[in-house]
A and B are shown apart, each in its own frame.
Chain A
Amino acid sequence: MIKDVIYTISSNLQLNSSVFEMRLDGDTAPLNKSGQFIDIALSGKYLRRPISVCDYDENGLTIIYKVVGEGTKQMSNMQKGEKLSALCALGNGFDDSVTAKKIALVGGGVGLPPLYGLAKRLKSQGKNITVLAGFNTAADMYYINEFSSLAPTRVATADGSAGTKGFVTALMDEGEFDYFYACGPEPMLNALLKTGLDGQLSYEARMACGFGVCMGCSCKTKLGAKRICKDGPVMTAKEMR
């Protein structure tokens, strides 16, 4: 189900130099999985901004976004109490019904947020999860305490300024995990596909509609062309490998 929902901003907190956490109060009934996204309308901007849902409950949802251009800059200046229109909910989300012995939740940069809600779900199901978080540098880190309160959390930074030096894939010992959920930059996702491990990956792309009609975000998979917005953003390792 997709609704055009008017949300009220209840907080808009800066987490580091460019990453913000925004809490939106309003209808979350259309959401049913972690990894789905909303598409936010901004005044003066023609296209909506697709942003993944970090977490949600019956009263509202949380998004975490990085200021990368004028639209997200505009969002960062929005105040508590302001209204915001968003299409909710878009995309298929993560399938959390998978049974596995030891699961890695692998997030790179602003790919981490949807893994937070997922970590909560998997933990409530009693599953054995470990969070692997990758950043460029220590100053980019956010939400590490939040993740640590849910599950063992390891950090890697490309420049070695925090945690293990290197990419997030360096945090996985061979044979340690039998399943993964991932969201992050495409090189990270490609590196995970190369490990041969079974899992699910959340992709991103420039999109116009967000609900499967414009064909702006198509990708090729083993099962034919798929739309990242509608058939994804979560794809299985099997179809992407």
Chain B
Amino acid sequence: MDLSVNLGGIKLDNPVIPASGTFGYGLEFAELYDINILGSFSIKGTTLEPRFGNPLPRIAETPSGMLNSVGLQNPGAEAVVKEYFPRLKKVYRKKVFANVGGHDEESYVAAAEILSKEDIVCAVELNISCPNVKAGGMAFGTDPDKAAAITAAVKKVCRKPLFVKLSPNVTSVKDIALKVVDAGADGITLINTLLGMAVDWKTGRAITAVPHAGLSGAAVKPVALRMVHEVASAVSVPVIGMGGIESAKDVLEFMSVGASAVMVGSKNLTDPFICKKIIEDLPAVLSEAGVQDIKSVIGRTDRCAK
């Protein structure tokens, strides 16, 4: 069955893309299965300079999900280009989404410029929604004007289609989406993690060293579906949906509310073979839903309503 999708000119064999921060730079997963079966994947959020990230503990378990406060640990854009991409190319012949982080406009622009030049990069995913960094990150993604300004600045230097990854920690995700599309975004990905917290009832201490951390996993799926629906209904650019996806059925749900492709995040951490399973399951699940062409699933929720 043809599972291919087209994201405004970026053609993927299937809509399954491991999400940034849950797939490293692909190398660990390449030891587990042939990662060329993926539609693509989004690299670990990469900044201009190397970052160690936040103090430990950075992880907490929650009902049907988890919190992380990693804080964009990464080796920096130059090291990714010089050390990680050459190793990745030995095991992966497709292209990646380059997830770019930063702490101010200049650092976002510089990192996006470096990464978007690379052949292996098919698109830049601008991370203006990381809740775990003090400066930048979510601060840009929760202010419509700042989000638009940084999108416009990165768009000027970005040599590949620019997707902007949105934060769910806002009053109106639709307003931010409209602003960044207006500022030149070629696509939207959402949702990043929801700000949350876990506390030890015995001691009263927060579990993570940085008390407020990003919630992900199955727990966020209903929120993610609602936000993807809101945004996909409002914008004309491709939307990649994510938030708690764990199965081929979940993929159909996200595509139904308007996503052209999906990202699978936290589930990669608890079942490293999940993306392989989802891709293998998709044909049967599509048949079960009576669907001939996966592209016909995109946005069908609204068509049902009419």
Given contacts A214-B269, A230-B28, contact A205 B61 (CB under 8 A): no
Give the segment of B18-26, B113-121, B247-255, B293-301 that binds chain A.
B18-26
Per DSSP, are chain B's interface residues mostly helix, strand or loop, or mixed? loop
CB of B270 within 8 A of CB of A206, answer no
How many residues belonging to B are interface residues under a CB distance threshold of 8 Å? 35
Fill in one digit per residue for B225-251: 1 if any A CB lies within 8 Å of its CB, else 0. 000000000000000000000000000
Q: Kindly state whether residue A131 has any CB partner on chain B within 8 Å.
A: no
CB of B64 within 8 A of CB of A212, answer no
Q: What is the minimal beta-carbon distance from A48 to any residue of chain B, in angstroms?
A: 6
Q: Kindly state whether residue B107 has any CB partner on chain A within 8 Å.
A: no
Residue with the greatest number of chain B CB neighbours at <10 A, chosen from A45, A46, A230: A46
CB of B56 within 8 A of CB of A219, answer yes
How many residues belonging to A are interface residues under a CB distance threshold of 8 Å? 26
Contacts of B44 in A (CB 8 A): 213, 215
Q: Kindly state whether residue A150 has any CB partner on chain B within 8 Å.
A: no
CB of A220 within 8 A of CB of B52, answer yes
Closest to A216 in B: B59
Selected from B29, B58, B270, B273, the residue in CB contact (under 8 A) with A215 is B58
Given contacts A208-B269, A209-B269, A230-B28, contact A47 B61 (CB under 8 A): yes
Q: Cα distance A45–B62 when bound, in Å?
A: 8
Fill in one digit per residue for B1-36: 1 if any A CB lies within 8 Å of its CB, else 0. 000000000000000000001111000110110000
Q: Cα distance A223–B153 when bound, in Å?
A: 36
Interface residues of B in 61-84 (CB under 8 A from A): 61-66, 68, 70, 73
Closest to A211 in B: B28
Interface residues of B (CB under 8 A from A): 21-24, 28-29, 31-32, 44, 52-53, 56-66, 68, 70, 73, 207, 217-218, 266, 268-273
